[in-house]
Chain A
């Protein structure tokens, strides 16, 4: 089945630094990748949608200059949290979609970001 690898699983960084999260589709070509954020006791909130080779589309209220998304290949998308602050601490999850059908939503294992 489709597998999406997300790294790192946990990261602690100092306030003001940047953190990069990678999301790789291992056995299929991910034409579209979605990035979600989940705060404790809350549901997944879509941050942005990225299509390979084009700029990401950000949801309202998500700062595109703070959350940089790159989808340079059909198997890799990255999310960089720039100048991280404690309020950016959250669980970040990517989802990749390949070709054909709604069953193509495969989720990564998530990244727990803690900014201190």
Chain B
């Protein structure tokens, strides 16, 4: 059974700081990794996904993979109060199948 673990937080950072969110996964064979942001009462929205072949940067967001230690990180640079949300990490059961979600990390960015 694949598992995805996240520290529930809350993670508190001041505005403008770098927020670092981590996620560990149990299946060493996992090939793709997803980060979603979820505001209270809303559906998750995709921030970015990466494959096992490398890190990825998109604007203020960077996803990094450490295959040896089986964790994936999401860095948010220049954090804004609007980034305050729950961040969910997910991996597919198998390629093309349903995503398994971690419990999410709550991020609070103070102005």
Contacts and interface: CB of A to CB of B under 8 A. Distances in A.
B98 A49 contact: yes
Interface stretch (B44-52, B60-68, B76-84): B44-52
Contacts of B42: 109-110
What band does the interface of chain A fall in when counting residues whose beta carbon is under 8 Å from B?
20 to 34
A109 B43 contact: yes
Interface in B69-111: 88, 92, 95-104
Given A102-B32, A109-B42, A43 B101 contact: yes
Nearest to B50: A102
Contact of B99 (A6, A95, A110, A112): A95
Interface of A: 6, 32, 34, 42-46, 49, 91, 93, 95, 97, 102-103, 105, 107-110, 112
26 contacts: A6-B43, A34-B98, A34-B99, A42-B103, A43-B101, A43-B103, A43-B104, A44-B88, A46-B98, A49-B97, A91-B41, A93-B43, A95-B98, A97-B96, A102-B34, A102-B49, A102-B95, A103-B46, A105-B46, A107-B44, A107-B45, A108-B43, A109-B42, A109-B43, A110-B42, A112-B41
